[in-house]
Structure 1
Amino acid sequence: MSCLLKCTCNDSENELSFSDENQTNGDQLYQHLSEASHLSEAIPLLPAANDMIKYESDATKFELLAVIGRSSHRATAVSLTKHIPSGHRIAIKCINLDAPGTDYDSVEHEILVTRQLKHENVLPYLCAFVSSSEVWAVMPLMTYGSVRDILDTHYPGGLPETAVSLILRDTLRALEYVHQAGFIHRSVKAAHLLISSKGRVVLTGFRYSCNVIVDARWQPCIHDFPTDSIDNLNWLSPEVLQQNLKGYDSKSDIYSIGITAFELANGVVPYTGLAPTQILLAKLQGTKPTPPGSISDGAPLRESNRDTYKASGECSGQSSTFCEEFSGFTSLCLQKDPLLRPSAHQLLLHGFIRLSRKLMTTLPVILAPISPRAEVSRNTSSEPDEDATGCTQEICWNF
């Protein structure tokens, strides 16, 4: 416990100057909050332009409104929260240290790594502190929730190709920065990609990450096997699962990008339904998901004549079609030999990612049927109202 106190309370106050939403008018973006009849007062989500909000490491400064996400083992919950001094909405991740199976080292590691990283496509911790038997991590509210939740609730058959391109672009930007900072993420997947109200995708889930800089020296390869690997088995690269003397490096995250691309496109994760031993065998044999090759969302992304073919339902219960650039992109990511995989920087120059630059659209436009609302009842108790979770399906977080 003492190490948690040391690592999470470096600063007594933290200023918010992170998100692109800070440059916008909160009343315009979140007018629906004031229209909600069951709210006694509108809770603005964002500060006015040029305002700097200080977040104190003090639980009394925050009012937990509703639980909007829980971990599978129930030890961690994300709550929609009101910052009392400013009145703005944020999210707080509450980790119960007394819950069975809670890994103190993992909690400390995630906070330390996240606090080191500062990038527009990486979810920041605005402050973190110990409150009673819990660790509270304060972070911006990503109003669309995770991409996994969007797939489960609105796009079970997969996202439009344009959305996939935009999401992967921001994810690669985050990974490029993370790799340059000396970290391997080791858990890139839709559940760890959150979307802000303006359509900016941020990467989270750094509890699984590892540092490649040891004793001030950059390690060419890592041999550490991630804890709780069963949760990420479908996304992990063959070299991570092999656990041999060659080890692995940041290219293992590129393999996870390829798996995530199919997850976004088909709505389900490749290798779903297979036993862990079957997944391991398939990856070691170099088996890849069936590559798609034609447009899924109607109009072509660019004018060109190209042969197309359908993706079989290997990863999905229904057929979907995508462009050849998508096929080439995923093929590069899923190379069995990590030396043949491109870096995150190189993938940002790939034709599939570059297509998104030519589109005069954003994720909120593509996801228009989904409204980033947070219609929750006021809760006068000190604990978040679990029943309010049903009212916040638009922003439920899966992590």
Structure 2
Amino acid sequence: MFSNNISDYKLNSTIKAGTFGTVYKANYLNSNKCVVIKQISVEQQADKVTRICEDVLKCRQFKHTNINSLLHCFVDKNYVYMVFPFVCFGNCQTLLENVFTSGFPEILIALIFKDIMSALVYIHSHHFIHGSLRAKSILLDRNKAILSNFRDSRSFINQGKRDQVLYGSTVGKAENLNWTAPEILYQNLSGYTEKSDLYSIGITSYEMANGFQPFLDSELTFMCTEKIRGNLPSLSDKSSQGLSSVNYSREAVPSAMNNQRTFSDDFHQYMEICLNKNPTCRWSAHKLMTHSFFKQCRNSSILDQLKGLNFDLQSCTYIKDEPLRAASANVKHLEDVKWCF
């Protein structure tokens, strides 16, 4: 379906440039289809080349409507090119920074995580964990949420047998620690299971509801201690006023914001289940999909919610993918889209 010649693709703009590779928004000229291309040089250290191969293999293994799919992969001269579908609204972290600066509406959070939970059920059934779930790893299209960034995912299958627990992995990667489950931070012989992804779901739900990451300005030692103690960050709404719980935010949430919204009891309970210190008390992804928090998804869709917020759905396919130039952007015309692979 796709060509192995890079000249058959028109690279329109740079979405992301990093030391590991460059991501472009492009058009496949043979069909004029809008795609995203990740370009990676093969002239790198052996361990990085191995990592490229592992990324491709992981992407090839997963085929699910709510998982970012690898459409094609080829080598041209000194570069590996990975072709992905274009997702018009980018990742949820960018939307938090530019549109939903006070947090996503609860019903939109439920719709997004219903899709993400479906993706988790799939990868857990294939004996994998995601390992770095966060708002940055969730892409939002017109009709669905898509889980991406499987760089830190790990398999329970070892030499043909399934291990009961995993060890190591994300500890030591500072960018993931805010979302890391307590059992991973323990680094003991008990190890951790796919339930660690459910803890990350809870932290990401907090991030998307409140509009900021928990423990954002905390010292790593304080953050780890609070998690191990089981002290949970709370949703900021009317019910949190006057409580002594700490929100671990960059700055205090304005009281006016708390006065204007109330999260449902189902949402609070869903958060408590995900953020339980004891992984055996957390529900599985399959069971969590049955939680009453997701009942509000029955008569709505992501597209309905975005229309209600006046997104410019007609022009979103042509969003300019450039680095953010300012912290302000309105809902009707989101020009800046970031991706995470």
TM range (shorter): 0.7 to 0.9
> How far did 1:348 drift?
0.5
Name the counterpart of 2:272. Answer: 331
Q: Would you say 1:66 and 2:10 are equivalent positions? A: no
Task: Write out per-residue CA displacement over residues 227-248 of structure 1, whole angstroms, 9 at most, x where no aligned residue.
Answer: 7621111001011121110000
Does structure 2 conserve the Cα–Cα contact (< 8 Å) formed by 1:189 and 1:235?
Answer: yes
List aligned pairs for 1:268-307, cutoff 5 A: 268-291=212-235
1:107-256 correspondence runs (5 A): 107-196=52-141, 198-226=142-170, 229-256=173-200
Please name the residue that 1:355 is paired with: 296
| Offset, 1:94 | 1.9
Q: Determine if contact 2:109/2:209 at 8 Å carries over to the other structure.
A: yes
C-alpha contact 2:234 2:240 (8 A) present in aligned 1: no
CA distance, structure 2, for counterparts of residue 115 and residue 363 of structure 1: 32
Q: 2:247 aligned to 297, 314, 323, which one?
A: 314
Which residue type is aligned with residue 214 of structure 2?
P
Contact 1:158 1:265 in 2 (8 A): yes
Q: Specify the alignment match of 1:369 in structure 2.
A: 311
2:281 alignment partner in structure 1:
340
1:142 deviates by 0.2
Q: Distance in 1 between matches of 2:129 and 2:138?
A: 16
Corresponding residue pairs, total: 322
Partners of 1:121 and 1:163 in 2: how far apart? 16
Give the corresponding residue for 2:38.
Answer: 93
Are residues 193 and 88 of structure 1, via their aligned partners in 2, closer, same or farther at CA, if it must alter by over 3 Å? Answer: same
Post-superposition Cα deviations, 1:64-100, rounded to whole Å, max 9, x if no partner, equal 1101234xx5433321101011111111122344579
Pairwise CA RMSD = 2.7
Superposition TM-score, scaled by structure 1 size: 0.74
Between 1:235-244 and 1:221-230, the stretch displaced more is 221-230
Name the CA distance, whole Å, in 2 between partners of 1:228 and 1:266: 26
Amino acid at match of 2:225: L
- Show CA shifts across 1:27-68 (max 9, x none): xxxxxxxxxxxxxxxxxxxxxxxxxxx112322221111012
CA deviations on 1:185-234 (whole Å, 9 max, x unpaired) are: 011111010011x2311101101100011122221101132376211110
1:337-389 deviations in Å (ceiling 9; x for gaps): 1000000011111111122214466343244335524255xxxxxxxx97899
Q: Confirm or deny: 8 A CA contact 2:322 2:337 kept in the other structure.
A: no
TM-score w.r.t. the length of structure 2 is 0.86
Q: 1:84 to 1:62 in 2, by over 3 A?
A: same
Q: Distance in 2 between matches of 1:136 and 1:322?
A: 44
Shift of 1:287: 1.4
Indicate if the aligned counterparts of 1:225 and 1:243 stay in contact, CA closer than 8 A. no
**One-letter amino acid matched to 1:213:** I
* SS in structure 2 at match of 1:206: coil
- Name the CA distance, whole Å, in 2 between partners of 1:127 and 1:95: 14
**Aligned partners of 1:243, 1:322: CA distance in 2, in Å?**
34
Distance 1:257 1:251, change over 3 A: same
The answer (yes or no) to whether the contact 1:262–1:315 under 8 Å persists in 2 is no
Tell me the distance in 1 between the aligned counterparts of 2:322 and 2:295.
42
Aligned position for 2:330:
none
Structure 1 gaps of 5+ residues are: 1-53, 295-307, 377-384
Indicate conservation of the 8 Å contact 1:148/1:398, yes or no.
no
Indicate the SS of the match to 2:22. strand
The aligned counterpart of 1:82 is: 27
| Alignment partners' CA distance in 2, 1:387 and 1:207 | 23
Superposition deviation, residue 276 in structure 1: 1.7
Q: Look up the equivalent residue of 2:26 and give its one-letter code.
A: T
Matched residues in 2 for 1:245 and 1:127: separation?
Answer: 40
Counterpart code for 1:344: A
8 Å Cα contact 1:68/1:389 also seen in 2: no
Is the 1:80–1:91 Cα contact (8 Å) retained in structure 2? yes
Q: Note closer, same or farther for the CA distance 1:109–1:389 as it changes in structure 2 (3 Å cut).
A: farther
Q: State the shift of 1:322 in Å.
A: 1.0
**Partner of 2:298: helix, strand, or coil?**
helix
Identity %: 29
Aligned equivalents of 1:89, 1:389: Cα separation in 2: 24
Work out the CA distance in 2 between the residues paired with 1:232 and 1:151. Answer: 18
Counterpart secondary structure, 1:325: helix
Given the superposition, is the C-alpha separation of residues 375 and 173 from structure 1 closer, same or farther in structure 2, using an over 3 Å criterion? closer
Greater alpha carbon shift after TM alignment, 124-133 vs 77-86: 124-133
Output the amino acid matched with 2:37: I
The corresponding residue for 1:23 is none
